[in-house]
Structure 1
């Protein structure tokens, strides 16, 4: 499999402050994971995003504010989110990586793109930075693809619910947002709802798992309802918000995925679209070794390969499976899947 790996040195210059978990080593670890994968890798430099593309999902006044804030020296945007002068270029190149990947994949130069970028993006709202995020990179790319007339699935397997991505597209009929995440947990959204009454009915599938949920319940969730719902949607493109903080070794969260679980998810997801129509965006993940191993496993899985440890999994609680059953019932109602 041919992988386009997109990154830039400026991603290591975005500095959230001493002791902050969203640190430069994360993007280095992700790129190491790409290079270790048993795939053919071509590396490319992330360009700056076109202002017009950025403003498809962010308020122009907010974009101006972030540019001025960084130029003035930066500081704290909220208790969790910080910026320095280099953060502006990092953020606009993180947002520009996806559109460039779309162009390269449409040219046929790779089967999949992996974007080793930071800061992450899925919490960045149209006019608000939050959760370590300045601009919503996956949303920028999704907006571009929608403008081109495509149907898009966003699979967000970060441990945190991608509140901003869901908010931006909940009324968009040609985009399906799917999120597996720890709940209750930051940012407090993404709980089980009546999907037939949800503002994003038939465009949103949230799977909020309790602390301790592991790969066994994730695999069951992919069997039903994730893959049936995604396949019925018939997407042209798959965008993965690839956070690795659901890994068992992550210091910020309480789920228990292993690299083999990321391989399983990637292996099953890429078949939803044609080769050359999948882009992975680095989101969270705060243990560098876990990031490296999980990125390697993600690409190996996407290539159809079995990775070491495929038979090693933690066991999830009865509560995790009860949560899944509740989601299945709601999904069956919303998508006419039949009772599970």
Structure 2
């Protein structure tokens, strides 16, 4: 079995203002880190409207389409911008993760990594924010449940910022378990431990500023892994943000590359035990370009080792 890398050149057409951290150069770093790896390379399709409608209303999809400028860059809020190529990139970002679900559940590949931008885990039901337009991973979770007929899907988000969008989109979905570890205090200010979902299906782990990978490992071993084992997911989705790395400019956690290796391997262990190793990972944050490349390569190398 192999690992699928699902991506598309359209992701380069989503242009943000000069100096913006979520920049085209992020994808250059990711591509450079993965160019020599023996991956099953897949062209990301556009998501079907029906698949996005599982998490966003039609009025919201229309509003995002109407906001796309004919030229230049338009701000949707202080952080989130769109350009003429953003709509295609956003639809393919969701489509990439959906394609990963199809490939992994069919047994075509062992696992998958979707190298996408814009990211998705901050997009709420009717609100683009935090560089995100559509809830890529949440849409994939609902797709796996409704289209593929699964009963339980887990989402683990280890981006340094709380996945408020994914939490919002899955809050009422009893068939999912959403786990987010994130620095707190930090934008967007959500992700308190008492935010547990409508069906006790949300687990938020607040990590203090300047804490390191050793602290993260203790938290995951004590709180995350037991919950995942008890939930026994039939598919594990990962929101893979790499901005907890100590070099990242937008946060103050002190993880090393080896911490992402450890966490990826541990999540694969749980997937091996509960769902035959079925893992689909999607790129979220990570804004130091060198650290991003190193962490993505480390993460994907573990996926490749475990797909065999």
Is the 1:267–1:303 contact (alpha carbons within 8 Å) kept by the matching residues of 2? no
Is the 1:122–1:138 contact (alpha carbons within 8 Å) kept by the matching residues of 2? yes
Is the 2:22–2:287 contact (alpha carbons within 8 Å) kept by the matching residues of 1? yes
Q: Give matches, 1:241-320, under 5 Å.
A: 241-273=239-271, 274-275=275-276, 277-303=278-304
User: In the TM superposition, what is the alpha-carbon distance from 1:36 to its structure 2 partner?
Assistant: 4.9
Match of 2:65 in 1: 67
In the alignment, structure 1 segments of 5+ residues that lack a partner are 306-340
Q: Give matches, 1:69-148, under 5 Å.
A: 69-73=67-71, 75-147=74-146, 148=148
SS at match of 1:110: coil
SS at match of 2:35: helix
* Counterpart Cα distance in 2 of 1:63 and 1:303: 35
Is the 1:105–1:276 contact (alpha carbons within 8 Å) kept by the matching residues of 2? no
Match of 1:56 in 2: 54
Scaled by the length of structure 2, the TM-score of the pair is: 0.93
Match of 1:28 in 2: 28
Is the 2:15–2:24 contact (alpha carbons within 8 Å) kept by the matching residues of 1? yes
User: In the TM superposition, what is the alpha-carbon distance from 1:202 to its structure 2 partner?
Assistant: 2.7
SS at match of 1:123: coil
Runs of 4 or more consecutive aligned structure 1 residues displaced over 6 Å after TM superposition = none
Residue-pair matches, total: 300
User: In the TM superposition, what is the alpha-carbon distance from 1:201 to its structure 2 partner?
Assistant: 5.0
* Counterpart Cα distance in 2 of 1:280 and 1:174: 19
User: In the TM superposition, what is the alpha-carbon distance from 1:271 to its structure 2 partner?
Assistant: 2.2
User: In the TM superposition, what is the alpha-carbon distance from 1:260 to its structure 2 partner?
Assistant: 0.6
* Counterpart Cα distance in 1 of 2:106 and 2:277: 9
* Counterpart Cα distance in 1 of 2:220 and 2:197: 23
Match of 1:19 in 2: 19
**Which stretch of the first structure deviates more once superposed, 49-58 or 22-31?**
22-31
SS at match of 2:39: strand
Is the 1:110–1:276 contact (alpha carbons within 8 Å) kept by the matching residues of 2? no
* Counterpart Cα distance in 1 of 2:238 and 2:277: 14
Scaled by the length of structure 1, the TM-score of the pair is: 0.84
**Which stretch of the first structure deviates more once superposed, 199-208 or 223-232?**
199-208
User: In the TM superposition, what is the alpha-carbon distance from 1:253 to its structure 2 partner?
Assistant: 0.7
* Counterpart Cα distance in 2 of 1:214 and 1:225: 17
* Counterpart Cα distance in 1 of 2:303 and 2:7: 20
* Counterpart Cα distance in 2 of 1:45 and 1:281: 15
User: In the TM superposition, what is the alpha-carbon distance from 1:303 to its structure 2 partner?
Assistant: 4.7
SS at match of 1:254: coil
SS at match of 2:187: coil
SS at match of 1:85: coil
SS at match of 1:165: helix
SS at match of 1:94: helix
Please, what is the CA RMSD of the aligned residues? Answer: 1.6
- Structure whose CA Rg is larger: 1
- Write out per-residue CA displacement over residues 65-114 of structure 1, whole angstroms, 9 at most, x where no aligned residue: 11121154450100110000100000000011111112222332211101
SS at match of 2:19: coil
Is the 1:7–1:46 contact (alpha carbons within 8 Å) kept by the matching residues of 2? yes
* Counterpart Cα distance in 2 of 1:108 and 1:78: 41
* Counterpart Cα distance in 1 of 2:158 and 2:36: 22
SS at match of 1:293: helix
* Counterpart Cα distance in 1 of 2:214 and 2:305: 19
Match of 1:176 in 2: 177
User: In the TM superposition, what is the alpha-carbon distance from 1:301 to its structure 2 partner?
Assistant: 3.0
- Write out per-residue CA displacement over residues 240-293 of structure 1, whole angstroms, 9 at most, x where no aligned residue: 000011111101110011111011011010122234521110001001111111
* Counterpart Cα distance in 2 of 1:35 and 1:238: 25
SS at match of 1:92: helix
In the alignment, structure 2 segments of 5+ residues that lack a partner are none
User: In the TM superposition, what is the alpha-carbon distance from 1:304 to its structure 2 partner?
Assistant: 5.3
